[in-house]
Structure 1
Amino acid sequence: MDQDERLDRLLRGFCEDSLDYKNLKVEKEERRNALRALMNLRMPGPLPEKFLQLQDEFLREEAREKGIVTPEQIPSVKEQYGVFGRLAERISVWQGDITRLAADAVVNAANSGMLGCFVPCHRCIDNAIHSAAGVQLRQECFELMEKKRKLYGADYEEPTGGAEITLAYNLPANYVIHTVGPVVHGSLSRSLEQELRNCYQSCLKCASAHNIKSLAFCCISTGEFHFPNERAAEIAVKTTAAYLEEHAEIEKVIFNVYKDCDLEIYQSVIEQRI
């Protein structure tokens, strides 16, 4: 079965599974976006094992077509920028799609509901990671949150600054570490800066606890959460460097950026601080 056949079957299956989109008609050139949208909109719940296997085959082939990038293929900041600090061989900056990275774990900038982004084809990192991982990721997050709600009440939401780990399913990575970053409304404050530090510290501690050797960070809280990019990068690099100084078990941290401006910012910050 080729990708076109898998895509058609998946579209039919997700439409049949939906209450609102059973009769959805999709133009051929819009099929991939329609599939992603249906996955984004779908609430947690079981699906037949054969259907999940079909989804997995499709998403893994998509990952291969996009091109999987291993940590070993990414130069360190020593090689990339000529930085010679003690940590220069353990830190990298890589520009691209985080869903291509075969790190031990990638960090997801989650929301407090922890179920991924429900906005069809939204450009946030939460949407990208859940879409590439498959619907099992939302299901595992749902089960995790259900356990917490039994402990803390039905209105429980994931607090800012913590970290939770799940499997990565159809991503090239092995795990996803989810963290809820601070949302900036108006001016930046010291408390918001501390919450962002907490995000990085929690993710690093989680990585250490789960024997993760390579960890890829997205730009937590920038973009949709409006944290200023330059200050976010300074906090990310300083917090990570301080942790790595005390913890040799994490062998490589990758700062993943997508925009050219963030690449320039991270280069400047690293040249000053590493």
Structure 2
Amino acid sequence: MPEKNALKLDQIPTIRQLFEKGVIKKAEKMGGGPEPNDKLLDKVSCYRGDITILDSDALVNAANKSLLGGGGVDGAIHAAAGRKLLEECRMLDGCDTGDAKLTRGYELPARYVIHTVGPVYYPGNEDIRGDQLASCYRRSLEIAVEHNLKSIAFPCISTGVYGYPHREAARIALTEVRGFLESENGEKIDRVVFVVYLAQDDGIYKELIPQIYPPAAEVVEEQKEATKEVDAQKEEGVSATEA
């Protein structure tokens, strides 16, 4: 397994750590929203960068139906994994929208690649395409559990040339993953990383995470104390400069 430039999962902050550092803030109270689940704060991360360098058990490829490579994250994963990935993909006989298939990771730091086919979005088919997009995340997690894979990294599926609206896609991704992690099989997954590449998606995920993965009260208090400490350090720095 390649080690050069590999990013270890312990180098990526969890949601809890993002709350504590003030990178993401508690959402305004909204009626009917999900209840806090403390365990999830240590299982889920959001990272902006290159998915191909993550040292995880599996990373998810936003593939097309042929599974033979393409543009965007699909092309990047195939390029980083090397030609043997394409050779194995040729043996899989494609993949249906909303489904997923597993291959080895080859030259990637990740041990395996889970290839999933997201829906092509167009107005008027929101319900069907939403179900298909949710299935991409669910099936990828199911395959991870079937193969005893404990960590998995997701890109933003279908938001590129397939045209799925970024905010709606992020909400589906975050909600579906939470539902799976709270199921019986979800106990078998230790870490899920949502990997975003665009600043737009980074902002959307950091806005939606507090709504879908709300922190418990003690986490909010820790966040307040951390913010006070940072503010105090800034004030001390200003005073020293003025002196």
TM-score range for the pair, normalised by the shorter chain length: 0.7 to 0.9
1:185 to 98, 101, 122: 122
How far residue 187 of structure 1 moved from its aligned partner, in angstroms, is 4.6
State the match for 1:161 in structure 2: 98
Contact 1:110 1:116 in 2 (8 A): yes
SS in 1 for 2:47: strand
1:128 matched to 2:81? The reply is: no
Contact 2:14 2:45 in 1 (8 A): yes
How far residue 115 of structure 1 moved from its aligned partner, in angstroms, is 1.0
Q: Deviations over 1:117-161 (max 9, x none)?
A: 2xxxx4x0000000000000000010122xxxxxxxxxxx52101
SS in 2 for 1:92: strand
1:143 matched to 2:91? The reply is: yes
1:88 matched to 2:41? The reply is: yes
Q: Higher relative contact order by CA 8 Å / sep ≥ 6: 1 or 2?
A: 2
SS in 2 for 1:234: helix
TM-score, normalization by structure 2: 0.77
Q: How many residues align?
A: 196
CA distance in 1, matches of 2:37, 2:123: 36
State the match for 1:34 in structure 2: none
1:265 matched to 2:204? The reply is: yes
State the match for 1:70 in structure 2: 8
TM-score, normalization by structure 1: 0.69
CA distance in 1, matches of 2:140, 2:95: 14
CA distance in 2, matches of 1:203, 1:214: 11
CA distance in 1, matches of 2:87, 2:8: 27
Single out whichever of 183-192 and 232-241 deviates more from structure 2: 183-192
Contact 1:98 1:256 in 2 (8 A): yes
One-letter identity of the residue aligned with 2:181: L
One-letter identity of the residue aligned with 2:166: N
How far residue 224 of structure 1 moved from its aligned partner, in angstroms, is 1.2
State the match for 1:256 in structure 2: 195
Contact 2:8 2:56 in 1 (8 A): yes
Report matched runs for 1:15-30 at 5 Å: none
CA distance in 2, matches of 1:211, 1:244: 15
Contact 1:200 1:239 in 2 (8 A): yes
Contact 1:81 1:267 in 2 (8 A): no
CA distance in 1, matches of 2:187, 2:126: 32
Q: Deviations over 1:227-257 (max 9, x none)?
A: 0000000000000001001121100000000
State the match for 1:236 in structure 2: 173
1:97 to 26, 29, 50: 50
How far residue 164 of structure 1 moved from its aligned partner, in angstroms, is 0.4
How far residue 189 of structure 1 moved from its aligned partner, in angstroms, is 1.2
Q: Deviations over 1:32-80 (max 9, x none)?
A: xxxxxxxxxxxxxxxxxxxxxxxx9xxx5xx72xx21011111101101
One-letter identity of the residue aligned with 1:99: T
CA distance in 2, matches of 1:81, 1:257: 18
Identity in percent: 41
SS in 1 for 2:42: coil
Q: Which runs of 5+ in 1 are unaligned?
A: 1-55, 146-156
